[in-house]
Amino acid sequence: MEVSLWIVTGLSFLCWLGSWVMCARFRRVPAVNGERRGEGGPRISIVIPARNEETNIGRLLDSLKESGAHEIIVVDDQSEDGTAEVAARGGAHVVCGEGPPEGWLGKPWACHQGGRIATGDWLLFLDADTRFVADGFARLVRLAEGKPMVHSICPYHSVRDLYEQLSAFFNVTMIVGMNAFTLKGTAARDIGLFGQVMLVSRGHYDLVEGHSRVKGEILENFHLSRHFSAAGISRRCWLGRNTIVMRMFPGGLRDLVAGWSKGTVSGASNTAGAALLGVSVWMSGLFMSAVPVCFGILASPVLAAVMVGLYLLWVLQCGYLFRAAGRYWLLTALAFPVGLVFYQVVFFQALWRKRKGGTIKWKGRHVS
């Protein structure tokens, strides 16, 4: 037993070392040092697909009041609440979206409708549950003034209630799954795009035929990234802390499970092989660090001390990664096996449902 525990502990430590490769180049959107955009800057059209976002859309529009955006378009995706009314009061140009045609999913279709009427030189696609912090939009303007490329930002996760701590592993795997923050940086192959915030020039968007090329994809961001890559268009991902935040599932634990189930399996199947391998190594190491601790009573004092030390190393890494993704508690990192098991349960439940041909109901629609 002692030898087996040493082997598992050693393998876990190697996984811990290797896992740092995935996050070696975390990047936040650069600050603007208080500078403001003057006349003649990039004209940015903001397109917000919104379905049943009455409780969120107002906060996003409030955060954009002093932005100086060229236009703000909210595509009301046949909402069953007051989304359109709240958006109109917030000063947005509200488009009453049509029902998705055959072969289209709701979000790509809403983005397509908004992008079709936008008149700016740049298009900024935003999820309705995001919100800019002070000077956050100015940071995106600065990105548009730089070298032409597609920019994608992962909003910082605003965590309030206890159940939302269970999103930690989902958020981290979403970030590292983009394959954009490894040692290779922007030179890595198969870099993805975050779906919540995407800034793209009008010319680049039209060149790849926009969302019409990804009309039936749940995670349209992954597939759009491939089309940009094929067209020779550079992509860069950023972390959104101090720029833009989100609160993903304020409706409770059931919404959280349904929301992550909707995209977890599709996300894994579309993740670059290197990133998927990295996530697998990371999670394997986490499991291997927790298992020996359970058998600590059978270990020698030296081995027991090593296992506890290794567990704390994993806690430190989880704490770093979780805080990069959102406002997670230290306790979430200390008790990482709880979140890890929850992630695995949701993932394999979603995988089983997908293989059985089942769907998940999300915002009144069934998605596979």
296 with 246, same domain: the answer is no
Give the pLDDT score at 91.
93
Q: What proportion of the chain, given as a percentage, has pLDDT over 90? A: 69
177 with 313, same domain: the answer is no
pLDDT tens, 90-125?
999 999 988 899 999 999 999 999 999 999 999 999
Give the pLDDT score at 329.
96
Q: How many CB atoms lie within 10 A of CB 321?
A: 25
18 with 136, same domain: the answer is no
59 with 186, same domain: the answer is yes
Q: What CA–CA distance (Å, rounded) separates 87 from 75?
A: 10
Q: Does residue 182 fall inside a structural domain?
A: yes
Q: What CA–CA distance (Å, rounded) separates 292 from 304?
A: 9
Q: Please check the confidence at residue 267 and state whether its pLDDT lies above 70.
A: no
Q: What CA–CA distance (Å, rounded) separates 197 from 224?
A: 13
Give the pLDDT score at 268.
64
Question: Which whole-number Å values give the CA distances from 345 to 241, 261, 294, in the listed order?
Answer: 29, 10, 20
62 with 170, same domain: the answer is yes
Q: Does residue 305 fall inside a structural domain?
A: yes
Give the pLDDT score at 89.
95
107 with 69, same domain: the answer is yes
Give the pLDDT score at 157.
96
50 with 149, same domain: the answer is yes
211 with 246, same domain: the answer is yes
Q: Please check the confidence at residue 214 and state whether its pLDDT lies above 60.
A: yes
53 with 201, same domain: the answer is yes
193, 217, 251 - which closes a domain: 251
19 with 120, same domain: the answer is no
Give the pLDDT score at 274.
82
366 confidence band (pLDDT: 50, 70, 90): low
Q: Please check the confidence at residue 282 and state whether its pLDDT lies above 80.
A: yes
301 with 236, same domain: the answer is no
Domain with 341 in it:
2-23+272-359
Q: How many domains, the chain?
A: 2
Residue scoring higher pLDDT (151 or 298): 151
Domain of residue 155, CATH code: 3.90.550.10
Give the pLDDT score at 39.
58
Q: Does residue 367 fall inside a structural domain?
A: no
Q: Does residue 329 fall inside a structural domain?
A: yes
Q: What CA–CA distance (Å, rounded) separates 117 from 103?
A: 21
Question: Can you give 1-45 as a three-state secondary structure string?
Answer: CHHHHHHHHHHHHHHHHHHHHHHCCCCECCCCCCCCCCCCCCCEE
188 with 288, same domain: the answer is no
Enter the pTM of the model.
Answer: 0.89
Q: Does residue 188 fall inside a structural domain?
A: yes
Q: Does residue 290 fall inside a structural domain?
A: yes
Q: Does residue 72 fall inside a structural domain?
A: yes
Q: What CA–CA distance (Å, rounded) separates 367 from 121?
A: 33
Give the pLDDT score at 273.
78
Question: Can you give the chain as a three-state secondary structure string?
Answer: CHHHHHHHHHHHHHHHHHHHHHHCCCCECCCCCCCCCCCCCCCEEEEEEECCCHHHHHHHHHCCCCCCCCEEEEEECCCCCCHHHHHHHCCCEEEECCCCCCCCCHHHHHHHHHHHHCCCCEEEEECCCEEECCCHHHHHHHHHHCCCCEEEEECEECCCCHHHHHHHHHHHHHHHCCCCCCCCHHHCCCCCCCCCEEEEEHHHHHHCCHHHHHCCCCCHHHHHHHHHHHCCCCEEEEECCCCEEECCCCCCHHHHHHHHHHHHHHHHHHCCHHHHHHHHHHHHHHHHHHHHHHCHHHCCHHHHHHHHHHHHHHHHHHHHHHHHHECCCHHHHHCHHHHHHHHHHHHHHHHHHHHCCCCEEECCEEEC
218, 251, 284 - which closes a domain: 251
301 confidence band (pLDDT: 50, 70, 90): confident
217, 251, 285 - which closes a domain: 251
Q: Does residue 364 fall inside a structural domain?
A: no
